[in-house]
Amino acid sequence: MVLIIRDSGESAKDIIKIINLQFKNLYSIKVAQKGKKFKGNKETDDVIFEGDWKDHFQRLLFIRSLLVQLSTGSFVLSGKVYKNKMIDLRITNKKLFLRAIRIINHITKKDENDIKEALLRSIYEGDVPSQNNLEDTIALSAGRENIVPMAIPSLVYPGKNIEELRLMLRNEPIVRKLVIEELSNLK
């Protein structure tokens, strides 16, 4: 990823230091004065912000906005977002458990009971106990990853067991790519 900040002065260099500390995978950051061009780039290419930073608050606001944009973009590219919903959430309380149900319902349009069963299979890794309470389930799910991304394909491909679903997600970690064709056939 290449980020170009067009600005003059020390404030741009300060921003670059902060961004480099937060994002180790940023390939390069260039600083140019206003109106200058980089080789091969038009003046307007790759500009995220253009202007002078007058005060400390404006500089911090810019940095925060930039970091939000970069992290959101990385979540989208890594497949943690599906239909404008963050699907790779960690279920640590009842509110997040209910949100996971709503997200899966929004994507699959399945019955709430089926969704709960798929979530429980994903949390308990296939072996759902006959007696389970929500608090224990949430406590267990807080330490697990890929619960919602595992539950979605389990509803789309009901004949697959947990190991087959895990293999499918390992081969294609972007859930959207994994289920889009099958979901279009279901409608």
For residue range 128-179, list pLDDT tens digits in order. Answer: 888 888 898 999 999 888 899 999 999 999 888 889 988 988 888 888 888 8
For residue range 121-137, list pLDDT tens digits in order. Answer: 999 988 888 888 889 89
Look up the CATH architecture of domain 81-186.
Orthogonal Bundle (1.10)
What is the side-by-side strand order in the sheet with 2-6? Answer: 28-32, 2-6, 47-50
β-partners of residue 96 are: none
- Angstrom distance (rounded) from CA 40 to CA 35: 14
| Domain coordinates in residue numbering, the chain | 2-77, 81-186
Closest CA to 21 of 66, 54, 58: 66
40's CB contacts (< 8 A; 6+ apart) are none
